[in-house]
Structure 1
Amino acid sequence: MHMTSAPHLLTEDRPEFDRLLDEALRTAHDRPELATLGERLNAEQLRTMALGASALLTAAAAAEYDHYVKVREELREEPAAGPAEGVADDGGGGGGGGGGGAGVSAVVAVLAPVLAGAAMMIFLLVGYILKLIEPEPAFADTLLTTGWFFGALTAVAILVAAIGLLVAAVRNSATEVVPQPPEAVPEEVSRAREAWLHALLERGIMPFLRDALADPTAGTGFPVPRTPGAGRIPDLGYTRPDFTSPGGPAQGTRPGYTAPDFTSPDFGGPETGPQ
């Protein structure tokens, strides 16, 4: 459900209002003044009314909210520490050559077993195919010997690459930066937040819910209009517009008309005698 928030309530704090309202409605039966919940109005109806009057409810704790926002913004505006930039610069300048060498070594460690294994397969395949030919070519044994040599070279390259990866893993674990746990909310900010939520609940939400349940016309959906400042429940109804005709009875009688007086063509005026 979309919440209509107070104009001064920041977007990041709107869920707090919604959560606090839901919690108050959930525990309403634990408060004697809200024991009549469900008789005239249920929780969803009260929630809708409270969301519509959120500007009025949050205004009851405006002083505490302004203090909370001020403390929070002061904490965010504190200058960030700068050692991280210096460490990054030192690492970039001193480790440039080492990084390049490590990159070449990694490429060689990966490509050497692949290339040696491919050469082994080619020489062995061609050598065994030549041995099937009659008469057998003289260089068939040479190809087989070369293939087995590349096979041994492949095994050695794989062993060297495994050792290199193990050494790199040990070095990285020694220089690995352990992630720090999330920083706890400062005590001053936490106290300001709790003060705002307490004031919002006790001076805004709870009095509104109590007045809504005590209002005998609240269950109709269109309460009797209230004078400004008469209570916490806003006027959620409307009155039927009173339409009148343009020009009431006091302005005169309704205009009328008379039918035209037609005469026969054979009838003349008084000056004409009968024929």
Structure 2
Amino acid sequence: MHMNSAPHLLAEDRAEYERILDDALRKAHERPDLDGMGKRLNAEQLRTMALNATALITSAAAAEYDHFVKVRGEARTSTGASVGHSVLGPAVGASAETGAGFAAVLTVLAPVLAGTAALIFLLVGYILKAVSPDAAFADTLLTAGWFFGALTAAGLLAAAIGLLITALRNGATQVPAEEAGGELPDEVARAKEAWRHALLERGVLPFLRAALADPSADPASSAPPRRVNRFPKVGYSGPDFSSPSDGTSAGSRPTFTSPDFTSPDFGPPEHRPE
């Protein structure tokens, strides 16, 4: 029977279960109860067995996992309104963002265009000035070139100021958002840590110990070791039902005999008993 699918374990938490298992196998040399790893079963074989028994191992921490999923769901629900607002905000202010985008493009392109124009005007103006010092058109090109050069410098300064303002604005809005939701993630983190601890101590480690202690454990099989076919329920024991004592032994049963029935004595009067 394949046990690598845990009905109560969500797909998003499967990777966390594997991380706990890998961490336990990596630190197995630090635990005396797992010192048998590598003699008969290596880490990869134990990992395969544990993955095949995911449902069995995770059921040992089912209560902690249910609490973790509940707290996490409540946290996601509480933040849904703020997330929805942040998603709908751009749609409501689409025109404003379009204007802001156009201004950003203009801020980037203006220094480039002005710088290109300044380079062309200055280059042509100085060439004409060298060929004909008295040419009035050369002075006009040089004046235009220096004008566009000034525009380039102003555009670069405006772009730097815009980047600085954007960085400060994003930093100012990020800190309150983290502080506002700081209490709920702490509760989720505590619930997750409790589940991780219970899963390790009551699920993963007992399974590994049983696999190492069971000489018949087959790493290629999907069945768990015989010693962990069922985890014990700590603190509870089934009631002791026993049959009432009637003085008879367990192997003997009371015997019954049928009553002695005889037919009535019918006959003519002369044959009746006196």
Q: TM-score, normalised by structure 2?
A: 0.61
1:75 CA displacement: 0.5
The Cα offsets for residues 222-253 of structure 1, whole Å up to 9 and x where unpaired, read as 79x99xx964259xxxxxxxxxxxxxxxxxxx
Query: Structure 1 residues 123 and 90, CA, compared in 2 at 3 Å: closer, same or farther?
Result: same
In 2, distance between residues paired with 1:102 and 1:26? 52
1:160 CA displacement: 2.6
Q: Which has the bigger relative contact order, CA under 8 A and spacing at least 6?
A: 2
**Max Rg structure:** 1
Which residue is 1:80 aligned to? 81
Unaligned residue ranges in structure 2 (runs of 5+): 231-274
1:127 CA displacement: 9.0
The residue type paired with residue 11 of structure 1 is A
1:214 CA displacement: 1.2
The residue type paired with residue 185 of structure 2 is P
In 1, distance between residues paired with 2:29 and 2:104? 69
Q: What is the RMSD of the two structures over their aligned residues, measured on CA atoms? A: 4.1
1:51 CA displacement: 0.8
1:205 CA displacement: 0.9
Which residue is 2:137 aligned to? 146
Q: Within 5 A, what are the aligned runs for 1:170-181?
A: 170-174=161-165, 176=167, 177-179=169-171, 180=174
Which residue is 1:257 aligned to? none
1:196 and 2:195 matched: yes
1:232 and 2:233 matched: no
Which residue is 1:160 aligned to? 151
Identical columns (%)? 45
Which residue is 1:52 aligned to? 52
The Cα offsets for residues 161-196 of structure 1, whole Å up to 9 and x where unpaired, read as 212331443255245423436945722111110111
The residue type paired with residue 169 of structure 1 is A
The residue type paired with residue 66 of structure 1 is D
In 1, distance between residues paired with 2:9 and 2:128? 80
Q: Is the 1:40–1:219 contact (alpha carbons within 8 Å) kept by the matching residues of 2?
A: no
1:208 and 2:207 matched: yes
Q: TM-score, normalised by structure 1?
A: 0.61
1:4 CA displacement: 3.7
Moved more, 16-25 or 78-87: 78-87
Query: Structure 1 residues 7 and 150, CA, compared in 2 at 3 Å: closer, same or farther?
Result: same
- The structure with the largest helix share of the pair is 2
The residue type paired with residue 46 of structure 2 is L
How many residues align? The count is: 217
The Cα offsets for residues 193-232 of structure 1, whole Å up to 9 and x where unpaired, read as 0111111111111111111111122268679x99xx9642
SS at match of 2:9: coil
Q: Within 5 A, what are the aligned runs for 1:23-42?
A: 23-42=23-42
Q: Is the 1:120–1:148 contact (alpha carbons within 8 Å) kept by the matching residues of 2?
A: no
Which residue is 1:6 aligned to? 6
Query: Structure 1 residues 104 and 33, CA, compared in 2 at 3 Å: closer, same or farther?
Result: closer
Unaligned residue ranges in structure 1 (runs of 5+): 132-139, 235-275
Which residue is 1:17 aligned to? 17
1:10 CA displacement: 1.6
In 2, distance between residues paired with 1:221 and 1:104? 65
The residue type paired with residue 150 of structure 1 is L
